[in-house]
């Protein structure tokens, strides 16, 4: 076993073009570090609908130049010579290198490549694929993962991320790739300028239904990512005052020095932005994650201070805002199965079609024709107009602009986003959601928990009878199979349990719905929801056994 690991490591060294990972691997071999070899060569990063994502380092179980060149070669084989691929990248460690390696491999295989001239947000790449009529797109990013990670997303010609069977076909093609030092490499790719792609993107998001109110003080953080410059330009293009930026997080920095995790949902990540908002007397706080495809929103409280809205709260507000500002008899809105059920009730009330999809925007944007809005609870939103979605993926910049337009209109009307949330609760019932997320170091623990839940499903949670259990592995409501379980509880409550597709986590999504008919009822319903969700979370945690 050890001799086989050493042999594979030596073969890797012979073809690795990166001096940094060669030095890393040579040091591991020299000190005879078998666990490190097993970690890097005992498994490999699997290419799926999320592409590739993992820690930087040497070996097939890491993100590195060899892994990326193999992925590009597999994509080239799937597309065939003559295809057109757009490549974008963020500011993480090695992102620009991985992007150029991909361009070299793809052009060497006879494809046309358009490489972005700068580290720009993921939604710009997704927009570019359709705008340029390309056959595919590649975005080198690990989104909001830790600093030592990177990733490789693949988009298809419709501007959305790949889904089966394309991911399986690319994966098979990757497996057939030999040594990367024997791949033909090219250098004749096009470089996409700001004028060629960023300006059309800005024009598209500025034409969203933003209303005409613009009196708003906004604080913004790009979370050390690549969204800052383009978001500020988008706000100016749409007629808003540029937001005040959290300077310590304003420039791209792949080490993300001010946050433990560069994700607006993580504890402490928004502290600097909320501190600046207090000082500035802001009406709204907006954050993007590092590749700017997600958008977080914070609002001032009447008693002072700020609170961050949940993804479901923003999802419901944006959904109703877009529905009331678009026209047409065949509009569609969509959300993932782990998002709140509120959007469906809003759509029904307004006579608009609603669809529920599997988790991930690759599924949401394929919900059907006439899609004007889609969201998932993990701060992902794609906002459209009568012309449809300008970006067929989550877009943190377009969402930020639309939230600003919504908040400015509310301010003009003497209201706040909190008032709008109360109005929705009084109309549709209070839909309160939360998550239980368990991070593990051993993925077998997640598989074991899912097996236990399937074998011995709970009969009741938080005093609510479990009315039905949907095993999403078998498909449910016409959806493709996926690893997950959905529990429907009495009182219009719901729990979904699924392994994360991008992190070593088991994620549980909880929702309770409590009727409310007026301001006093809403306040009481919110207090009741906190108690119910706390009890539901405790009971579910016990059932998981983790």
Q: Which of 124, 60, 54 is nearest to 93 (CA)?
A: 54
- Does residue 212 sit in the same domain as residue 185? no
CATH at 250: 3.40.120.10
| Residue where a domain terminates, one of 161, 192, 223 | 192
Is residue 272 within 8 Å of residue 249, measured between CB atoms?
yes
Its domain, for residue 13, covers 2-192
Phi, psi (degrees; rounded to nearest 5) at 218? -120, 140
CATH number, domain of 518, equals 3.30.310.50
Q: What is the pLDDT of residue 221?
A: 98
User: What is the C-alpha to C-alpha distance for residues 174 and 11, in angstroms, rounded to an integer?
Assistant: 17
Report pTM: 0.95
**Same domain, residue pair 218 and 283:** yes
Average pLDDT, stretch 153-157?
98
Domain closes at, from 377, 411, 426: 426
Is residue 453 a contact partner of residue 485, using CB atoms and an 8 Å limit?
A: yes
Residue with tokens 């993300």: 256
Lowest pLDDT segment from 10-19, 133-142, 523-532? 523-532
Which of 142-151, 341-350, 499-508 shows the lowest mean pLDDT across its residues?
499-508
Give me the pLDDT at residue 516, please. 82
Mean pLDDT of 182-190: 97
Where b means 16+ CB within 10 Å and e means fewer, 470-497 reads bbbeeebeeeeebebbbbebeeebbbbb
pLDDT digits (tens, 9 = 90+) for 72-82: 999 999 999 99
Whether the pLDDT of residue 23 is over 90: the answer is yes
Same structural domain, 27 and 72: yes
Q: If pLDDT is split at 50, 70 and 90, which confidence band does 300 have?
A: very high
Average pLDDT over residues 292-308: 97
Same domain membership, residue 454 and residue 412 = no
Same domain assignment for residues 320 and 456: no
How far lies 512's CA from each of 336, 359, 470, 482, 493, in Å?
A: 17, 20, 18, 24, 4
415 and 462 both lie in a single domain: no
Q: How many domains does the chain have?
A: 3
Mean pLDDT of the chain: 95
Q: Please check whether residues 421 and 516 belong to one and the same domain.
A: no
DSSP 294: B
pLDDT at residue 422 greater than cutoff 80: yes
The set of residues, in sequence order, having a beta carbon less than 8 Å from that of 543 and lying 6+ positions away, is 453, 458, 461
Structure tokens at 382: 């794609």
- Helix, strand or coil, per DSSP, at residue 49: coil
The mean pLDDT value for 405-417 works out to 98
Q: Which residues are designated catalytic?
A: 143
Q: Rounded mean pLDDT of 460-469?
A: 93
Least confident of 113-122, 332-341, 480-489: 480-489
Nearest-angstrom CA–CA distance, 512 and 537 = 11
pLDDT digit string (tens) for 347-370?
999 999 999 999 999 999 999 999
If asked whether residues 262 and 373 sit together in one domain, one would say yes
* Rounded CA separation 31/199 (Å): 52
Same domain (yes/no): 209, 301: yes
Pick from 496, 472, 502, 471: which is nearest to 161 by CA? 502
Average pLDDT over residues 512-530: 88
User: CA-CA distances (angstroms) from residue 529 to 264, 467, 487, 516?
Assistant: 23, 20, 18, 11
Please tell me which residue, 517 or 393, carries the higher pLDDT value. 393
Number of H helices and number of E strands within the chain? 17, 21
Stretch 249-278: mean pLDDT: 96
Distances (CA, A) of 472 to 92, 260, 324, 338: 35, 33, 33, 12
Distance CA 228, CA 118 (A): 13
Predicted confidence band at 441 (pLDDT cuts at 50, 70, 90)?
confident
pLDDT score recorded for residue 438: 87
Among candidate residues 365, 376, 358, the one with its CA nearest the CA of residue 482: 358
Domain boundary among 426, 461, 492: 426
In this structure, are 454 and 367 located in the same domain? no
Examine the domain organization and report whether 218 and 232 are in the same domain: yes
Q: Which range among 93-107, 234-248, 302-316, 502-516 shows the weakest confidence by mean pLDDT? A: 502-516
Sign, CA torsion 495/499/501/507? positive
C-alpha to C-alpha distance for 395 and 375, rounded to whole angstroms: 10
For residues 526 and 435, state if they share a domain.
yes
Tell me: pLDDT of 50 over 90: no
Q: What percent of the chain has pLDDT over 90?
A: 89
pLDDT value of position 543? 87
């Amino acid at each position: 076993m050890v001799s086989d690991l050493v042999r594979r490591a030596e073969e890797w060294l012979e073809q690795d073009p990166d001096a940094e990972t060669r030095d890393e691997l040579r040091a591991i071999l020299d000190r005879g570090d078998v666990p490190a070899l097993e970690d890097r060569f005992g498994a490999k990063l699997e290419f799926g609908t999320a592409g590739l994502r993992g820690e930087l380092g040497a070996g097939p179980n890491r993100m590195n130049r060899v892994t990326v060149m193999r992925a590009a070669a597999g994509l080239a084989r799937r597309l065939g010579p003559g295809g057109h691929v757009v490549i974008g990248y963020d500011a993480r460690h090695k992102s620009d290198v991985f992007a150029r390696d991909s361009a070299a491999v793809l052009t060497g295989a006879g494809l046309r490549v358009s490489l972005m001239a700068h580290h720009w947000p993921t939604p710009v790449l997704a927009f570019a694929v359709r705008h340029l009529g390309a056959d595919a797109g590649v975005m080198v990013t690990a989104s909001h993962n830790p600093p030592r990670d990177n990733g490789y997303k693949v988009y298809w010609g419709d501007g959305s991320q790949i889904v089966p069977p394309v991911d399986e076909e690319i994966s098979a093609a990757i497996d057939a790739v030999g040594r990367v030092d024997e791949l033909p490499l090219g250098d004749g790719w096009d470089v996409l300028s700001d004028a060629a792609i960023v300006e059309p993107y800005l024009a598209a998001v500025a034409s969203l239904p933003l209303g005409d109110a613009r009196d708003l003080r906004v604080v913004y953080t790009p979370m050390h990512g690549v969204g800052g410059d383009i978001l500020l330009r988008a706000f100016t293009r749409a007629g808003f005052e540029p937001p005040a930026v959290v300077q310590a997080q304003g420039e791209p920095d792949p080490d993300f020095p001010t946050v433990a995790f560069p994700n607006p949902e993580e504890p402490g990540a928004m502290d600097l932005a909320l501190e600046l908002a207090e000082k500035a007397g802001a009406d709204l706080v907006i954050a993007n994650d590092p590749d700017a495809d997600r958008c977080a929103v914070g609002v001032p409280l009447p008693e002072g201070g700020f609170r961050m809205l949940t993804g479901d709260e923003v999802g419901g507000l944006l959904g109703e805002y877009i529905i009331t500002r678009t026209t047409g008899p065949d509009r569609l809105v969509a959300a993932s199965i782990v998002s709140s059920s509120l959007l469906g009730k809003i759509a029904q009330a307004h006579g608009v079609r609603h669809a529920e999809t599997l988790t991930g925007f690759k599924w949401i944007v394929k919900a059907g024709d006439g899609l004007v809005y889609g969201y998932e609870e993990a701060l992902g939103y794609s906002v459209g107009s009568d012309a449809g979605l300008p970006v067929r993926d989550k877009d943190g910049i377009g969402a930020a602009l639309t939230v600003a337009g919504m908040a400015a209109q509310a301010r003009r009307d003497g209201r706040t986003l909190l008032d709008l949330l109360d109005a929705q609760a009084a109309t549709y019932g209070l839909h309160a959601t939360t998550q239980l997320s368990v991070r593990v170091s051993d993925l077998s623990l997640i598989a074991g928990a899912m097996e236990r839940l399937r074998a011995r499903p709970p009969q009741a949670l938080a005093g609510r009878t479990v009315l039905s259990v949907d095993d999403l592995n078998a498909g449910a409501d016409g959806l493709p199979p996926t690893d997950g379980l959905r529990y429907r509880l009495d009182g219009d409550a719901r729990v979904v349990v699924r392994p994360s597709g991008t992190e070593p986590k088991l994620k549980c999504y909880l929702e309770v719905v409590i009727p409310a008919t007026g301001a006093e009822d809403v306040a009481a319903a919110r207090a009741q929801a906190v108690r119910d969700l706390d009890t539901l979370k405790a009971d579910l945690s016990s059932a998981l056994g983790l």
